[in-house]
Structure 1
Amino acid sequence: MTIIDKDVTPAVSGRRTRTTEKQRNDQEPPATEVTELGEIFARQRAAFAGTSAPSLQERKDNLLKLQRLVEQNRLILVEAANADFGTRAAFETEMSEIVGTISIIRYMRRNLRSWMAPRRRSVSIWYRPAKNRVEPRPLGVVGVVSPWNFPLHLALIPAATALAAGNRVMLKVSEFTPRTSAVLKRLIEENFSRDVFYVTDGGGEVASAFTSLPFDHLLFTGSTQVGKIVAKAAADNLTPVTLELGGKSPVIVDEDYPIARAAATVAWAKLYNGGQVCISPDYVLVPRGREKEFATAAQEAARKLYPKAAGNPEYTAVLNERHYDRITGYVTEAKALGAEVITVEDPELGRSRRQLPLTMIINPPVESTVMTDEIFGPVLPIIGYDSDRAAEDFVNSRSTPLALYVLSTARRRQKHWLTRVTSGSAVVNDMMVGYLQNDLPFGGRGGSGYGAYHGREGFDAMSHLRPVMYQRAIFGRTGGQMLYPPYGKVADVLLKLMRRI
């Protein structure tokens, strides 16, 4: 299968289509594009093997270079993202792609010295006066496959983490945001040697070839379906992988939490970037009987945030027609199955611009596609629950979500939900901002991925934490040498002591 961001070909429907020779030629990338991947990988591997690990200053210089190219090209990147989406709120691009990226890179630079330092470990009494250390070492060549929904941030933060750990980086950016990808590729080529940091923006065949390279670590952000393919490709090379896969992140509104406040928080999070966020709230669980109350409150909140969706330059559009049709297909199916649908405004008003208003579905059937697929858009199922156990089972019976959102005022109740419901990460009484905490690791579990990046945990994931024992002798002998043959009385006494201590 061919790997593409958030999708797999052939189509999910499995229907066979006749492909013309022209179409086939259009789909095939130039042979040099795939060949170049192998050549660049070999160059980076050779460069890594031929030099010592980058110093602290070299790593900080690389991070500063990344930070400055984002800062100095801020407006170009904002314009590129807007062109890729059709409409992409400039503030959201600034907040997520520019400020979010710069903030994390600054945090890395401030903390890099301590992350690189050897870490003390205790020594067994029998081997003293040795000393034990865990010494972070670069892995080698790290591959990063980034998605289209945040085409700058989700490309540069994993890459920056790999550079901070002293690695060489090969980055595959999304072909679905061609303008942003082109700008990013140009900026990296102008500022970095290809032996240190290389970017390709090829299509599906390039992505498949990319993930088949024997990287020393591979980080992929995208769908669970494609993540499985990436993991299988990496397994052939025994390449360790970090998978950030998204999934259906639930919101649990506790019985004690004000509905209006909950609805306002959810409406903001669901509409941010047009709902195209891997940790966007996917569905909401509210106490049974309060579903319509929540929907009405969310409708009012959305109208305050965006008095209109259609034609609003601050209301981010769905990326392309295919995704728009996929998302609206969920609504059409739910209606056909008898679910009630509530919208903030007439969807046809923004159809030509792909600006889909907040659309809520009350208690859709559990077997409906909107309740099995990751929505990745401004459609929000609202589900009533009868008891804590029912809500817990509803979430836990599904694939583990990347994020869990608990809205509850009582600490005891917050702890209750966090203890009973499994997720990759969690936020209490807010949405999505957990990702923006520079010192918290970020990653999934099960169907939402595995491994983590951000903060020290990200640095460690991109490093080999090599254990090193430094032995020292006393009067010409070490503790271990006391146990060498021929075994005598001293060895017998030591053995008895070792059995007791």
Structure 2
Amino acid sequence: MPEANSSDKSTEMQAALSKQRADFTASMPEAMSVRRDRIDRAIALLIDYKDQFADAVSEDFGHRSTEQTLMTDIMPSVSAMKHARKHFESWARGEKRKATFPLGLIGAKAEVVYQPKGVVGVVAPWNFPVGMVMVPMAGILAAGNRAMIKPSEFTENVSALFEEIVPKYFDETEMAVFTGGPEVGIAFSQLAFDHMIFTGATSVGKHIMRAAAENLVPVTLELGGKSPTIVGRSADQKKAGERIATGKMMNAGQICLAPDYLMVASDQEEDVIESVKQGVHAQYPALIDNDDYTSVVNERNYDRLQGYLADAREKGAEVIEVNPAAEDFESYNGRKMPLHIVRGVNDDMKVMQEEIFGPILPVMTYRSIDEAIDYVNDHDRPLGLYYFGSDKAEEQQVLNRTVSGGVTVNDVIFHNAMEDLPFGGIGPSGMGHYHGADGFKTFSHMRAVYRQTGVDVAGMGGFKPPYGKSTHATLKRELKK
């Protein structure tokens, strides 16, 4: 039975792709007003159903506050849509380019025209199950594309809500949603989209890229990895601790950009750890009955995190549980988990090998900033890198000598909140960018257009047989050092 259902869904998705592409082709070129209308409808969908989305997210997680979902899923999506609505017509104007000398002098013209690619597949994760569909959707719709969406099976209530309400705002030729488990996800990734964007784990990203390669589908991969947080000796430790605590405790650390591990000066380790603990205490005086604190999404991930802690303890690390109200988590039968700070870590431990994606914070020490930089450079390039400090020379040293998807200085995660900055990874943390104008370009085809002059350019330049004086003159002129 599951195979038959999966086969039916695959046929349904292929039919939807064919229908969207046929309608896209028949509608070319669509007026800018059509794109604007789609963006308006996407904003309306988000605002009209914001409370239902918040309820669905909380149901899927076991608990997540309405305020957090509104702040981290709905609001960023609406902001991205409004930014696109304000600017997309100027982004779509294209660019004049210079015709190669001397062709421009005799009337030739060159330009780049931004065309929509066609149908974009969106494979979304569970950690921000609304935002990771709708933030990239701003660029997809602004560029004039159609969209097919595969939300995560781990947030089945959100997925079902998308499946229910998208048809109320969009025709199936504009946007379509397909729910289901891994088999559906595999079939979805094998479709011959005109572009595909995937947000999720690096290991899954490899499968997505492999599937896309069969149809030569260009991909944008937003993956993650272990984002280092370097606390310089010149840092304001109180502010650093508060901001690190905010970034690590938000969504219980289930963020691709969460500070994954700290690097602190060896003589400041205890003070920095204490500042993080104080940051947690100030924001979360209790955890279990605190509406502001999120649960780990499911038992599988909860067990994975507990396994990381057990592994670290077995290999000699010190684990500090940050439990502000001294609550009894041993008897607690939910999935809320306090922050665990892990000291004395090394690369043999799983907490330093895998992206943590939860409330665990390893701490490494360094004697010089060069030692911290070398450690970062010896490992996979991260999605985010964070530096705290007031030493501008040291800050520049960190920026100049490391490579990461993005950087936030004196805070964490916030570069992702800047709609005018490109967002994306590099190497194992991803490829490609979206947000703002960069997202518009990602989901557009940069079409080169050249308009030839009436003069016989090929003949004048000696480009056509019989080769002779003009040919040799051109070669002599151009092949000089």
Aligned partner of residue 442 in structure 1, secondary structure: coil
TM superposition shift of 1:393:
1.8
Between 1:97-106 and 1:27-36, the stretch displaced more is: 27-36
Aligned length: 474
Amino acid at match of 2:211: A
Aligned partner of residue 296 in structure 2, secondary structure: coil
Structure 2: 5+ residue stretches without partners:
none
The 2-side partners of 1:489 and 1:246 are apart by 59
2:65 counterpart residue number: 89
The 1-side partners of 2:2 and 2:329 are apart by 33
Q: 1:376 to 1:487 in 2, by over 3 A?
A: closer
TM superposition shift of 1:394:
1.4
> 2:57 aligned with 1:76, yes or no?
no
The 2-side partners of 1:148 and 1:488 are apart by 66
Q: Deviations over 1:240-291 (max 9, x none)?
A: 1111001000100011112222111101100011111110000000001322
1:385 counterpart residue number: 366
Which of 262, 275, 282 is the aligned partner of 1:304?
Answer: 282
TM superposition shift of 1:51:
2.6
Which of 373, 388, 391 is the aligned partner of 1:407?
Answer: 388
> 2:200 aligned with 1:219, yes or no?
no
TM superposition shift of 1:146:
0.3
Which of 93, 118, 121 is the aligned partner of 1:140?
Answer: 118
Alignment of 1:131-170 (within 5 A): 131-170=109-148
> 2:345 aligned with 1:369, yes or no?
no
Q: 1:188 to 1:488 in 2, by over 3 A?
A: same
Q: Does structure 1 conserve the Cα–Cα contact (< 8 Å) formed by 2:122 and 2:148?
A: yes
> 2:424 aligned with 1:443, yes or no?
yes
TM-score by length of 2: 0.94
Aligned partner of residue 348 in structure 1, secondary structure: coil
The 2-side partners of 1:270 and 1:140 are apart by 38
1:119 counterpart residue number: 95
Q: 1:347 to 1:163 in 2, by over 3 A?
A: farther
Structure 1: 5+ residue stretches without partners:
1-24
Amino acid at match of 1:178: E
TM superposition shift of 1:53:
3.0
> 2:191 aligned with 1:210, yes or no?
no
2:85 counterpart residue number: 109
Between 1:216-225 and 1:363-372, the stretch displaced more is: 363-372
Which of 401, 416, 422 is the aligned partner of 1:420?
Answer: 401
1:64 counterpart residue number: 40
Which of 43, 53, 56 is the aligned partner of 2:19?
Answer: 43
Amino acid at match of 1:453: Y
1:455 counterpart residue number: 436
> 2:242 aligned with 1:264, yes or no?
yes
Amino acid at match of 1:195: T
Aligned-residue CA RMSD in angstroms? 1.9
Between 1:480-489 and 1:326-335, the stretch displaced more is: 480-489
Q: 1:420 to 1:494 in 2, by over 3 A?
A: closer
Q: Deviations over 1:170-199 (max 9, x none)?
A: 110111111111112222111111111111
The share of aligned pairs that are identical, in percent, is 38
Q: Deviations over 1:100-127 (max 9, x none)?
A: 1100110011110111112011112221
Amino acid at match of 2:297: L
Q: Does structure 2 conserve the Cα–Cα contact (< 8 Å) formed by 1:330 and 1:370?
A: yes
Between 1:287-296 and 1:270-279, the stretch displaced more is: 287-296
The 2-side partners of 1:285 and 1:139 are apart by 43
The 2-side partners of 1:309 and 1:44 are apart by 47
Q: Deviations over 1:322-361 (max 9, x none)?
A: 1111112111211122211111215616842211111100
